[in-house]
Homo-oligomer: A and B are copies of this chain.
Amino acid sequence: MGITKNHIFDDYQNQTALITKVLGHPARISILQHISKNEYCNCNELVKATGLAQPTISQHLSEIKKIKLLKQKNQGKNIFYAIDTELLNQYRRTINDFFVKIQVNCQSKS
């Protein structure tokens, strides 16, 4: 097959997995770091910063856009990216709560 059976899992499991999946590539970690540090960060800057080709960066950006973590401001021919910090914080809590719940479950057992 090769296709994930999302339908057999609940929304929480699918959403948790989706967020972490998007973060699950070093290029995307690097891209988020770079955008967070630089005020006017465009595609070309990320190309220079990472050493990856422009279409590859563009592709990773659209992966990150899948969870709506990027805001973009069109300024002439440039597109400057920024992070939706509201949503980032929501995702931080979602993932952290997941870890905590697992931890609590483990401790309740013994």
Interface set of A (CB-CB < 8 Å, partner B)? 4-6, 8-9, 13-14, 16-18, 20-30, 32-33, 36-39, 50-52, 82-83, 85, 88-89, 91-92, 95-96, 98-103, 105-107, 109-110
Residues of A contacting B: mostly: helix
Query: In the complex the two chains form, is B85's CB within 8 Å of A103's CB?
Result: yes
- Whether A96 touches B85, Cβ cut-off 8 Å, given contacts A25-B21, A29-B17, A33-B105, is no
A101: chain B residues within 8 A (beta carbon): 33, 36
Query: In the complex the two chains form, is A16's CB within 8 Å of B23's CB?
Result: yes
B8, B20, B29: the one contacting A52 at CB < 8 Å is: B8
Question: Can you list 25 residue pairs at the A/B interface with Cβ under 8 Å?
Answer: A4-B25, A4-B26, A4-B27, A5-B52, A8-B50, A8-B51, A8-B52, A9-B27, A9-B30, A14-B26, A16-B26, A17-B24, A20-B21, A20-B23, A20-B24, A21-B25, A23-B95, A32-B102, A36-B102, A37-B105, A39-B109, A89-B99, A89-B103, A92-B100, A96-B99
